[in-house]
Structure 1
Amino acid sequence: MDVADLSPAQARARFRGGERVPTAGWCRGWTQANLIAVPSRLRYELLLFAHRNPQACPVLDVGEPGSWSTGLFAGDLRTDLPAYRIYRDGEAVADVGDVVGEWRADLVPFLIGCSFTFERALLAAGVPVRHLELGTNVPMYVTNVPCEPTGSLSGPLVVSMRPVPEELVATAVEVSGRYPLVHGAPVHVGDPAGIGIGDLGRPDYGEAVEVYAGEVPLFWACGVTPQAAIMASGVEYAIGHLPGHMAIMDARDDDYRVI
């Protein structure tokens, strides 16, 4: 079966069984989300950080301390994503296929919106999505744009990039802008140096894609931003998804189209 035709439950079963792949293009029409789980003492601070940085950190759902499911994710957050990243004292210390043994009773899981949610709408409007064409992970970059800090959480904005033909830039901005709860319109259009990106060929996460002649790089706020804040702030323990290896939720993309 084409992975685009899988239900969220079918996809989660495959990940639970050991499939380790980026999830762009999986489960057509179903919403994907970024995972970040933090110690309970930080849950309100992370909520405040998200409130102050809503385009980068749109919160779709939050679990109870120690829980490994949420109202919009009926699976097991410890096993049902394709890959995870573990942080200790602000350092990424391991990338693993499940986190059953690492999930602590005080961890609070947050599901953060993902720009994969509006990619189907971009395609329907005639806007190409290069990483889907290539079957690769979307390129993501750490910028020099600081997020609005809270007491102990601060860090840089992370963005994802999609090259768009110049004549379709306005269409891409309009279409993605209809999905403000999953990052919305781009935060930057054009010269990557304007947000501190020196080389598009060397993304911090994901895989590089070529920008063809006549195309413009568009940059959307990315839900990996909380993980960058975890690192910049030296948080003692956290669990996130491996960038691009998302939580596939029991919610529809169209649920987040507001215009």
Structure 2
Amino acid sequence: MSGQSQQFDDTRALRAAIRAGTFAGPTSGQGGQALQANLVILRGTDAADFLRFCQANPRPCPLLAVGEPGNPSLPTLGQDIDLRHDLPRYRVWNKGDLVDEPADIAAHWCDDMVSFAIGCSFSFEDALTQAGIPVRHQQIGRNVPMYRTNLQTRAAGRFSGPVVVSMRPMHPADAIEAVRICDRFSLAHGAPVHLGDPAQIGIVDIMRPDYGDAPDIRDGEIPVFWACGVTPQAAIAAARPDIAITHAPGHMLVTDIPASRAERMLTGVNNQEPITPTGEIS
């Protein structure tokens, strides 16, 4: 896993290493029990529709914070955060096309940009580990595998598209326990959205993820799928705004908020709703 030879439990030290260019890898397992966040940055003209998209789809897009226009800080998530520098890798989109994956976005920043921090499933992985449930991609030094599905988000303005999921292979008993544990983390996508046969949610080849690295699924294990904060990137590709900036999949903003206390510390976040029987997820 490139750039991830050092383990950081101190979130500010991790962000300092990212700014210095000495940490460049995926952030799974970093920051101890800290809440991690996906990132979407849009010009003001597109921000209102995207806010409504998140509000309509709280399961894949649980809002943690929304920045002030032109301000790259998110003080409710960490006093020293600067979104132009504090993620290991970004993606820059032009009219829906991915055009760059820089380690810093200062050159792309505009005064009317609005930032959205969205919950990430990496936030509950420490709780899984503490419960004795292996997190395979951490064990083998890979990025988590992520897949586009046939589940659909609810459209808002120009934003719509498929739900993206992350996957962690587990023995069935561990999967049941993971449902119980993760249900407490609604700001990190909550409980899994699907267990077992990937074809039922439109995944043709489990060994070929759309994002991240190939999985290592062992005898007796089943794939367990969570809603994923890469979902907005599929919506951005379809909506084709003039410019958008996101995190690179697996390369998150690590906040100073303990994941276990996030819901008591952050306000204005939608509650989760269950999957509907029509194959739509909210």
State the TM-score, normalizing by the size of structure 1: 0.96
CA contact (8 A) 1:146 1:155 kept: yes
Say if 2:73 is the partner of 1:69.
Answer: yes
Alignment of 1:97-246 (within 5 A): 97-246=103-252
CA contact (8 A) 1:164 1:215 kept: yes
Are residues 23 and 198 of structure 1, via their aligned partners in 2, closer, same or farther at CA, if it must alter by over 3 Å? same
CA RMSD of aligned residues (A): 1.5
Identical columns (%):
47
Deviation, 1:178, is 0.9
Among candidates 44, 59, 64, match of residue 60 of structure 1 = 64
Give the letter aligned to residue 228 of structure 2.
Answer: C
Give the letter aligned to residue 11 of structure 1.
Answer: L
Say if 2:91 is the partner of 1:85.
Answer: yes
Say if 2:120 is the partner of 1:94.
Answer: no
Q: Which runs of 5+ in 1 are unaligned?
A: none
> 1:252 — aligned with what?
258
> 2:18 — aligned with what?
15
CA contact (8 A) 1:59 1:113 kept: yes
Aligned counterparts of 2:85 and 2:101: Cα–Cα separation in 1: 13
State the TM-score, normalizing by the size of structure 2: 0.88
> 1:40 — aligned with what?
44
Describe the superposition over 1:176-233 as per-residue Cα deviations: whole angstroms up to 9, x where unpaired.
1111111000111111111111111111111112111111101000011111110111
Give the letter aligned to residue 160 of structure 1.
Answer: S
Q: Which runs of 5+ in 2 are unaligned?
A: 265-282
CA contact (8 A) 1:4 1:28 kept: no
Deviation, 1:94, is 0.6
Deviation, 1:166, is 1.4
Aligned counterparts of 1:209 and 1:117: Cα–Cα separation in 2: 20
> 2:273 — aligned with what?
none
Aligned counterparts of 2:104 and 2:196: Cα–Cα separation in 1: 38
